Structure 1
Amino acid sequence: MMVVVAYDVNTETAAGRRRLRNVAKTCMKYGQRVQNSVFECSVTPSDYLILKHDLAAIMDETLDSLRYYNLGSNYSKKIEYRGRQRHIPVDEVMML
């Protein structure tokens, strides 16, 4: 299933900047960055639970926010974009 993760981390302190890096690193384990603070993650239901658990452990709920948009398995027709595409569609073949 495809899940979009969007986050806003308060970076006024060194701890906040560290949380921001850790949130991005965690999201990169499950998907790809499509905007500065937005990731598209192709995950199994169990991976989704782990991702949410890991991100909840990193964030400071009084300062930061996370949003999860579950697009399901048939997500390709639910995504529209305009302008420069910053990601590789996960259901297409990648050639190097």
Structure 2
Amino acid sequence: MFVILVYDFAQKRVGKALKISRKYLHWVQNSVLEGEISKANYTKLKLELEGLMDPDEDSVIFYTFRTLSYSKREELGVKKGGDENII
């Protein structure tokens, strides 16, 4: 599946949230990651972020897609993410 993850964590946890998320997805912009992920790794990612977050201060949104056949991605301005591959 393809996932777009958007998060908003308090400053003291934001670095850890990014580190966890980058284990599974590609960082594309401040607090935004995307990429192909297995269902098992998607579950792991959600559990790790839930364990880190304070539900009274932090939030995470997952957009999930079965296929990218009907999607289009456009970028304007400065490219903030990296092109590194996740292994």
Distance in 2 between the 1:79 and 1:40 partners? 13
- TM-score normalised according to structure 1 size: 0.75
Q: Report if aligned partners of 1:71, 1:78 keep a CA contact under 8 Å in 2.
A: no
Kindly indicate whether residue 43 of structure 2 is the aligned counterpart of residue 49 of structure 1: yes
- TM-score normalised according to structure 2 size: 0.82
Residue 63 of structure 2 aligns with an amino acid whose one-letter code is: Y
Report what 1:79 is aligned to. Answer: 72
Residue 9 of structure 2 aligns with an amino acid whose one-letter code is: V
Residue 8 of structure 1 aligns with an amino acid whose one-letter code is: D
Runs of 4+ in 1 over 4 A off after TM superposition: none
Q: Quick one: structure 1 residues 26 and 76, their matched pair in 2 at CA, closer, same or farther if it must change by over 3 Å?
A: farther
Structure having the higher Rg: 1
Task: Report how many residues are paired.
Answer: 82
RMSD of equivalent CA atoms: 1.8
Segments of structure 1 that go 5 or more residues without pairing to the other structure are 12-16, 91-96
Report the CA distance between 1:57 and its aligned residue: 0.3
Q: How does 1:19-34 map to 2 (within 5 A)?
A: 19-34=13-28
Q: Higher helix fraction: Structure 1 or Structure 2?
A: 1
Identity of aligned residues (%): 29
Report what 1:69 is aligned to. Answer: 63
